Structure 1
Amino acid sequence: MRLTRRHLMATGASLPLAAALPRWSLADISLGDATVTTVSDGNLVLPGDFIFEQMPQDELLPILDAAGQSRGEVRPECNLTLYRDGTNTVLFDAGAGPNFMPSAGTLPASLEAAGLAPEDITHVVFTHAHPDHIWGILDDFGDLLFPQAVYMMGRAEWAYWWDPETVNTIGAERAAFAVGAKNRLEAIEDAVAFFDDGEEVLPGIFAVSTPGHTPGHMSFELRRGTDAAMVIGDAIANHHVAFARPEWPSGSDQNPIMAVATRKALLDRLAAEDLTLIGFHLPEGGIGRAEATETGYRFVEMDA
């Protein structure tokens, strides 16, 4: 398996909300005759309580200090995975688009930097339908950004966000998520294909159910010959606490108890199989592996 990294460009202007400057960077691995590339959609800017509030604070702070992570604010990268096998050009998730957060939504520029136009994307495969993963299917004019693509989503995830009762049950702080998701699902209703856990979604791409962050969250095993990697979306949503203490509930998960069980099982598998992982919110392009420690795991970035 070959890995390269290259930083194509960086913005030179300040962003609102004092957001970190997004790097339109790429990290590549080869899987047999296929190539997997992460492309940046910028980053999020979130209050620390969104993730950390439910955790034991006396144990949390040393972990954050060791990772150089502030307790008050987090600015996770948004890394979309691009899979090219010579026939299909598959994008996992669609980014945040222009209307979610000023520090995110850089995917169109990142694709251009990678030498791709939106029309080159043959499939958009969703891990889940949170804003930073699906709102980017619509451009500034409300039109589909990827007009030639087939959109693919797990059946359970689609059913959850399509349900008119979701906006009433998801909680006031996430009600906008439900409204925005339903709007995007309506836009792709005539171009969507569904799949279930364990199915081969496309050649060499297998769906792996990883619920908890959302009810129907999916990860994907990419396999070409003897090479494999796992696109994990937000099943493991940060590189510090989620690895060091996977049993701690996170406020970013819609079902924290289910998400804990999923995260622990996924980390067990990733470490046991020494499987390359690709995380949406993990640093430096999100590609690395999980290494077991005495008390949990740690995220090991791929060497440059």
Structure 2
Amino acid sequence: MQLSRRHFLATSAAALALPYSRVWAATTLTMGSVRIDSLSDGHLELPLDFTFAGLPEAEVSALLDRHGLAAGGLTPPCNLTLLRDGTNTVLFDLGSGPDFMPTAGKVIEALAALDLTPEDVTHVLITHGHPDHLWGLLDEFDEPVFAEADYMIGQVEFDYWMDPATVDSIGEDRASFAIGASRRLEVITDSVRKLADGEEALPGITARLTPGHTPGHMAYEIVSPDGALMVVGDAIGNHHIAFDQPDWPSPSDQDPATAAITRTALLERLATSGVPLLGFHLPHGGLGRVEKTDTGYRFTEEI
């Protein structure tokens, strides 16, 4: 079956059937001539406080039990999105590279599983500048990994990480994020295209400002004659508390209040439209849909 024609802002709640197959490190979705693969960059290992610090302990404990999460820490997957339309080969985000966590930085292996190399990538669209999304820009020799690609990032996001004041304002725990981001963006500063909210990055791909996780975080709306998909990055950062309690502030977000507003609005739009999403830290490749529940939302994988 093919995706029916649908836009991100559509209001019909009818479900869409997605044809897909799963191979190592990839989940594949086809929309006519457009093929989208979810590529595994590995996973992160995070303490519970990264997501749950300051939240009600009893409710957090119940949420961990409900979702089968380990009390000792979180191991979120890292799903990069690859789009091929017969002309362009577009990678959304770059992964962690060699300098962040040893459990991540595996995107080149995932590409190889699809018989692709970094040189095949024509465009890179960046959601935001955190290490697991940007640090894969450079290899262990500080050379660009995707040397043939054209790069794009939100204007607000680029300006934030390139501002020398960010390292002092972001907080001590994340100062290395600012240093690492500016070092990598400096490599492409003369060529990177800076996107505005609502700007078409490539035919059929529109940048959508989704701030809060970072100041200029971008999601990307993909629309073809045969369907639609939203690449949400970290605007919806997990499959548990982000869906169960989207209005709760999360310490993983740089501006928790703004992120909660963004997240709630995005979940509502996706639930109402029936348009699928691909989330960077959502399970089993990150491809699924948002369903409303009596108290919040639920992530439903496409299986």
TM-score (ref. length: structure 1): 0.93
For 1:48-127, list aligned pairs within 5 A.
Answer: 48-127=48-127
Task: Output one character per residue of 1:44-84: Cα deviation in whole Å (capped at 9) or x when no partner.
Answer: 00000011012212112112211101233000000000011
CA deviations on 1:16-70 (whole Å, 9 max, x unpaired) are: xxxxxxxxx2111112320111001000000000110122121121122111012
State how far apart, in whole Å, the 2-side matches of 1:57 and 1:86 are: 50
* d(CA) in 1 for partners of 2:54, 2:211: 19
Is structure 2 residue 200 aligned with structure 1 residue 200? yes
The answer to whether the 8 A contact 1:237-1:280 is kept is: yes
Q: Which moved more, 1:54-63 or 1:100-109?
A: 54-63
> How far has the Cα of 1:233 moved from its partner?
0.1
Q: Distance in 2 between matches of 1:70 and 1:56?
A: 17
Gaps (5+ residues) in structure 1? 9-24
Counterpart in the other structure of 1:244: 244
Q: Which moved more, 1:50-59 or 1:141-150?
A: 50-59
Deviations 1:105-128 (CA, angstroms, capped at 9, x unpaired):
011111111111100000000000
Q: Residues 161-200 of structure 1 correspond to what in structure 2 (within 5 A)?
A: 161-200=161-200
Q: What is the CA–CA distance in structure 2 between the aligned matches of 1:286 and 1:54, rounded to whole Å?
A: 27
Tell me the equivalent position of 1:20: none
Q: Extract unaligned runs of 5+ from structure 2.
A: 4-17
Task: Decide whether the 8 Å contact of 1:64 with 1:241 is kept in 2.
Answer: no
1:133 aligns with 2:133: yes
Question: Secondary structure of the equivalent of 2:158?
Answer: helix
**Alignment-derived partner of residue 47 in structure 2:** 47
Rounded to whole Å, the distance in 2 between the matches of 1:31 and 1:201 is 19
Alignment partner, residue 234 of structure 1 = 234
- How big is the shift at 1:132? 0.3
Aligned to 1:260: 260
Separation (CA, whole Å) in 2 of partners of 1:71 and 1:234: 22
Taking CA–CA contacts closer than 8 Å with sequence separation of 6 or more, which of the two structures ends up with the larger relative contact order? 2
State the Cα RMSD in Å. Answer: 0.9
Matched, 1:5 2:45: no
Identical-pair percentage: 53
Q: Give the count of matched residue pairs.
A: 287
Letter in 2 for 1:106: K
Flag as ranges the 4+ runs of structure 1 deviating above 3 A: none
Answer with 49-58 or 262-271: which moved more: 49-58
Offset, 1:4: 2.0
- The reply to whether residue 276 of structure 1 matches residue 292 of structure 2 is no
**Residues in 1 aligned to 2:226 and 2:265: alpha-carbon distance in whole angstroms:** 22
Q: Which letter does structure 2 place at the counterpart of 1:196?
A: A
Per-residue CA distance 1:136-168 (angstroms, 9 max, x = gap): 010121100001000100000000000000000
SS at match of 2:269: helix
TM-score after normalising by structure 2 = 0.93
In the alignment, the residues of structure 2 paired with residue 115 and residue 190 of structure 1 have an alpha-carbon distance, to the nearest angstrom, of 31
Matched-pair contact (CA < 8 Å) for 1:3–1:27: no
CA contact (8 A) 1:233 1:279 kept: yes
Secondary structure, in 3 states, of the residue corresponding to 1:190?
Answer: coil
Name the aligned partner's letter for residue 20 of structure 2. Answer: T
Deviation at 1:6, TM superposition (A): 2.2
Secondary structure of the corresponding residue to residue 190 of structure 2: helix
* Distance in 2 of aligned mates of 1:190 and 1:112: 29
Partner Cα separation in structure 2 for residue 141 and residue 108 of structure 1: 15
Supply the distance in 2 between the matched residues of 1:5 and 1:32 (Cα, whole angstroms). 15
Give the SS at the match of 2:189: helix
Q: Measure the CA separation in 2 of the matches of 1:47 and 1:5.
A: 32
2:21 and 2:29 in contact (8 A); partners too: no
Higher strand share: 1
- Compute the displacement of 1:226 (Å): 4.4
SS in 2 for 1:185: helix
> Equivalents in 1 of 2:79, 2:66: separation in Å?
23
